[in-house]
Each structure stands twice: as C-alpha cells, then as structure tokens.
Structure 1
Amino acid sequence: MYVSEWENGKRAVSDRYAGILRKVLGVTDAELRGVAVAPAVLMADGYDDLLSRIDSASSVSGSMVEAFNAQTELIRTMDRQMGAARLVDQVTGHLTALEDALNFAVLPSTRRPVALALAGASTMAAWQAIDSGAVERAWRHYELAKRAARDAEAPMYLAHAMAEQAYVLCEAGRPVLGVELIRDAQRTLGQNGSPRLQAWLFAAEAELCAHAGMPNECRRALDAAMASIPPGAEDRDPDMLSIFLNGAHLARWQGNVLALLGDGEAVTSLYSALEVADPSFVRALAGLHADLAQAHLARAEYDDAHTHLREARLLASRTGSVRQRRRVDMLSSRL
C-alpha cells in the first residue's frame, strides 16, 4: 500500500523508509525522493531520461554553439558596462545549459566545441564572481573552466583559466602562490599561445609579483609583456575572445603595476591610458582611476588622489563592483 502511495505522490517517503529503500534500490536520497520507487520503474525512467539527454546533446549543432557563444558575448558586454551583480541568474542559467550539453555529449566531435564554449563562459563567470566578492564561487568556476579546456584540448583556454585563478589566491592573501600558478600556466602553454595571450600572461605575472613584493621579477615580467604585445590598435585576440589587450591597455596595466610598486613614473603611463580608454569598459575605468589615486598617493599628491578616488567610487558603485569598492576604501584610508 505504501509503495503505491509513494509512486503516485500521495505519501512522502519518511526518513525511516528512505534509509531502507536506498539500500534495497541502490539509489541516492535525491533520486529516491524525486522519482518513483519501484525498481522496474526506476530502471526504465532512468535509462529513458539518460538516452533523451544524450540524444539532445548529440543534436547540438554548430549554430547552437554559436548561439551559446553569442550569449556569452552579450553577458560580457553587459557586465563591463553595468557590472556583474545584476547578471547572476543569467550567468547561472547559461553555465547550467552549457554544462548539461557537455555532460551528455558522447563523441569528441560534439564535445569539443561545447567544451570550448563552456571554458570561455566559465572564466567570464569566475571573473564576475571575483568582482562581486564571491571568491569560492569564482574558484569553482575556474575549476570548471579548466576541466572544460582540457576536454576541448585547448591549451590557451587552460592557461588563461589557470592564470586568472591566481587572482583568487592573491585576493585571499596568497600572492606568492598566485605567481607560482601563473608561471605554471606559462609552462603549460609553452610556445603554443598567441602573442597577445603571452603578453597577457606576462602582465598578470608582473601584477602578482608586485603584490608579492618581488619588484625585480615584476619589472622583468613587465618588459616581457611589452616585448610580446602585437603592434596596432586591435585589442581582441581572435583565438582567445576573452582577451582584450593592445599597447594602450598594456600601458594602463603597466601603470597599475608601477603604482603598486610605489613608482612615481606610474602617473605618466596611467594618464596616457586614460586618454584612450574605451568609455564602455566602465569597471576598467573605475580601476584606472583607482590606479591614478594610488600613484598620486605614492607622490604625496593628495588633492589629485582624492579627485580620482571620488571618480573611482562613483564608477565602482555604478557597476556594483565589490572588489573595486574595497580597493577604494583601502586607498581612502591613506588620505
């Protein structure tokens, strides 16, 4: 009688019977409470559902992958202008759809393009999580991105995810460990990456070396980044769409790193970067003004520092950037 009522949803399975049924049927508690409990029904429903998901995944076409990538691009554009806080639900649903498509894709020809799309979307989501102050979520997204990149056999995406994950370690107070992770990413990539990605990795290494109190190694990495960046105004890497970097962007990054070192020359680089900054990169502009404030503080130019901190705070609030607001608060305490 209980079995019939459980199957028809008329009676919930009590904890006492659940313990017995899990052992008899070999199912988890979630499976037990979410499906009918008769063994024959469990087996039929389980395989039918599995095959349905496999069939759906096998039908993921090139146009569907393009749609996934287009959604990632849309979220990325909205994020840099409005911030990550308003996009949490959209990002979560997007990653879930991509992960489901990958989990039930069988053949490599189907898995690789979906895995590549997931790697790109996961690193984007992880950086948004860092910006929102959700470091554990960021770490998990980077782990997902690395698994997807390995599945896609995409060393550039793997190296990028590893290097960005180093920022989580830096935010957590372990910059030296972050430097080691970035260098491991560089070794993983070897000579297989694009020049723009190589420059990005060197610049990231320089930034974390500055946080770790390694000035000589920081300057060496900065020089390597400058030597690697391709010439011209183009900033998007065609092989690594999440990388935006050209000479102007790198000048801003150099200024940020020099400001972290307390180098007075940072101001020149940062004002040059401000002149050519893309106004649609609102969060990046917040960081640029915070960099200028830090550089002016190093020169004891407190009025200029206050002006840029005020602008940085406004832009950080506009995008809801917890990371930038925390930095602004820290710099403000030095005025």
Structure 2
Amino acid sequence: MYVSEWENERRPISDRYAAILRNLLGVTDAELRGVTQKSAPPVADGYDDLLSRIDSASSISTSMVKAFNDQTELLRTMDRQMGAASLVDQMTGHLAALEDALNFAVLPSARRPVALALAGASTLAAWQAIDSGAVERAWRHYELAKRAARDAEAPMYLAHAMGEQAYVLCDAGRSALGVDLVRDAQRTLGRSGTPRLRAWLSAAEAELCAHAGMVDDCQHALEEAMSTIPPGPEDRDPDMLSIFLNGAHLARWRGNVLGLLGDEEAVTSLYGALDVMDPTFVRARAGLHTDLAQAHLARAEHDEANTHLRQARLLASRTGSVRQRRRVDLLSERL
C-alpha cells in the first residue's frame, strides 16, 4: 500500500523508509524524493541530458570565457570599493556557473581556459570570505582554486592561491605553518613566475615571518621583495590579474611588516604609502590606517594612533570588513 501511495505522491516518504529505500535502490535522497519516487531502480535514461551538457561545455567559445573573466573583474572592482559583504550571492552564482562548465568539459583544450577562469574567481571569492570572517568557506574556495589551477596547468595561479591561503592559517594562530605554506608556494612557482608575483610572495613571506617572530627571515624576505618588484607606477600584472603591486603598494606592505616588528621606520614608510594610495582601494585604505595606528602604538603615540583607528573603523564599517574591524578592536584595547 505504501509503495502505491509513494508512487502516486499521496504520501511522502518518511525518513525511516527513505533510508531503507536508498540502500535498496542505490539512489540519493534528492533522486528518491524528487526526480524519481519509484520502488524500482531508476532507468539509465540520463545520457541525453549528460551528452547535451558535455556538448555545451565543449563548445564554450573564447568570448564566453572572456565573459566569465569580465564578471570576475567586475566583482573584484565592486569588492575593492564596497567590500565583500553584499557580493556573496553574486560570487556564489558565478563560481557555480564556472564549476558547472568545467565539470562537463572533457578535453584539455576545453578545460584549461575555464579552469584558469575558475582559479582566478575562486581566489577572489576566498579573499572575500576571509574579509567577511567566513574562514571555512575561504579555505574551501582556496582548495577549489588550487584544483582549478592544477587542471589549467597554471603554476602562477596555484602559487598565488597557496600564498593567500597561508593568511587563513596566520589569522587562525598558525603563522609558522603559514610561513611553510607560502614557501612551498615559492618552490611550486620556481623562477617561472613574473617578477611582480615573486615580489608578492616574498612580501607575504615577510609578513607571515613577522607574525611568527622570525625577525631575520622577515628582513631577508622584505629585501627580496624590494629587489624584485618592477620599477614604475604600473601595479597590475598582465599575466596574473589578481595581483596589484608596485613600489607604492610595497612601501605600504613594508610599513605594515615593520610595524609588526616594532621598527621605528614603519611610520615614515606608511605615511609615504598613504600619500600616493589609489582612493578606490577603500578596504586597503582601512588596512593602511590600521597599520599606522599599530605603528604609532609601538612608539607610544596614543593620540595619533587613536586618530587612525577612528578612520580605519569608519572605512571598515563602510566595506563591511570583519577582518579589519577585528584588527581595529584588538588595537583599541591597547589604548
């Protein structure tokens, strides 16, 4: 009687019977309750749909991949100016579309461009998750980015994802493990990466070493970053669009690292970076004011530190940056 009522949808399948039927029929819960609610094993009739999706994935054109990358770039710009909090649904949908395209692409010629687009988008989504305080989501996005980079045979994208993932470990209190991961990223890249990316990885290593109390290693990594960064105002790496780094950006990063070490030179370096900073990098500006507050606190200059903390808190609230607000709160406790 129950079988007839289930088949005719007059009675829902209870959890107790669903567990039994899943084992008997070899179906998932979604298939049992939604796609097929029959007591007989499902007929293998999904090939037409599968082949249709494979054909669609194999015919993805260069213009379609460009559309994916353009969407990532738009989300990156919005994130930079407004923060990540309002972009979760858009980013989730974007990643789902890219994953779906990759899952049904068969040959390397079809997979690589989509995988590369997914690697870039996943790394952006992961950094947004870090900024929003969603650390587990960030970790999963970095793992997705690394898998996509390997699929795309793109060591630069793989190294960048590993380098950023190290910050999750650092924020979780495992800065020494983060140092190991960013160094592994450097080994993965070797000398094949662009100078701008190599400088980025060295600066990341320096910051993580500072958190880990590895002062000599930190200084060495900073020197490596400063000697590797290309000259001039250009900050975008044409071969690695996730990287924004020039001498001015690196001066701000260096000031942050020196501030972590309690170095007197940090304040000068950070004010120099503030003078030339692109005003559209709103969240980064919040970080810079936080760095300045930290540097002033190291010199017991509490009034100046408080001024920058107020500005940092305002900008962090504007972008919804949980990570920057946490930094502000921790420094405020020291005033």
For Structure 1 versus Structure 2, the TM-score category normalised by the shorter chain is over 0.9
Deviations 1:35-93 (A, max 9, x none): 11448883344333322322222222111111111110001100011110011110111
With 187-196 and 4-13 compared, the bigger mean Cα shift is at: 4-13
Which residue matches 1:222? 222
Q: 8 Å contact 2:199–2:225 — kept in the other structure?
A: yes
- Equivalent in the alignment of 1:80: 80
Q: Partner residue of 2:199?
A: 199
Per the TM alignment, residue 231 of structure 1 is displaced from its structure 2 partner at its CA by 0.7
Q: d(CA) in 1 for partners of 2:6 and 2:62? A: 43
**Contact 1:35/1:42 (<8 A) preserved:** no
Matched, 1:168 2:207: no
Per-residue CA shift, 1:156-190, capped at 9, x if unaligned? 00000011000000000000000000000000111
Mapped contact 1:3–1:37 kept (Cα < 8 A)? no
SS at match of 1:279: coil
CA distance in 1, matches of 2:4, 2:111: 41
State the partner residue of 2:289: 289
AA in 2 matched with 1:331: L
Question: Which residue of structure 2 lines up, in the alignment, with residue 61 of structure 1?
Answer: 61
SS of equivalent residue, structure 1 residue 42 = coil
CA distance in 2, matches of 1:35, 1:41: 12
C-alpha distance in structure 1 between counterparts of 2:15 and 2:309, whole Å: 57
d(CA) in 2 for partners of 1:3 and 1:65? 48
The answer for the alignment partner of 2:146 in structure 1 is: 146
Distance 2:9 2:228 in 1: 64
**Counterpart amino acid of 2:58?**
S
Q: Structure 2: where are the runs of 5+ without partners?
A: none
Give the 3 Å change call, closer, same or farther, for CA 123–66 of structure 1 in structure 2: same
Task: Give the alignment of 1:266-305 within 5 angstroms.
Answer: 266-305=266-305
CA contact (8 A) 1:6 1:36 kept: no
Conservation of the 8 A alpha-carbon contact between 2:6 and 2:38: no
1:119 equivalent to 2:125? Answer: no
| Aligned partner of residue 43 in structure 2, secondary structure | helix
SS in 1 for 2:46: helix
Number of matched pairs: 335
Instruction: Provide the identity percentage.
Output: 82
User: Secondary structure of 1:213's match?
Assistant: coil
CA–CA distance in structure 2, aligned partners of residues 15 and 212 of structure 1:
50
TM-score, scaled to structure 2: 0.96
Report the 3-state secondary structure (helix = DSSP H, G, I; strand = E; otherwise coil) of the residue aligned with 2:42.
Answer: helix
User: What secondary structure is seen at the aligned counterpart in 2 of 1:43?
Assistant: coil
Hey, which bits of structure 1, 4+ residues long, moved more than 6 A? none
Deviations 1:262-291 (A, max 9, x none): 001001110110010000000000000001
Deviation at 1:334, TM superposition (A): 1.0
* Aligned residue number for residue 306 of structure 1: 306
Distance 1:206 1:131 in 2: 21
Bigger shift: residues 36-45 or 124-133 = 36-45
Q: 2: distance between equivalents of 1:111 and 1:167?
A: 29
Matching residue's letter, 2:318: R
Contact 2:313 2:328 in 1 (8 A): yes
Q: Is 2:25–2:41's contact at 8 Å kept on the other side of the alignment?
A: no
TM-score (norm 1): 0.96
Q: Which moved more, 1:33-42 or 1:130-139?
A: 33-42
Q: Helix, strand or coil for the counterpart of 1:13?
A: coil
> 3-state DSSP class of the match of 1:325?
helix
Q: Could you tell me how far apart the structure 1 residues matched to 2:68 and 2:100 are?
A: 12
Q: How far 1:299 sits from its partner (Å)?
A: 1.1
The change in CA–CA distance for 1:180 and 1:94 in structure 2 (over 3 A counts) is: same
**Cα offset, 1:132, TM superposition:** 0.5
Distance 2:21 2:67 in 1: 43
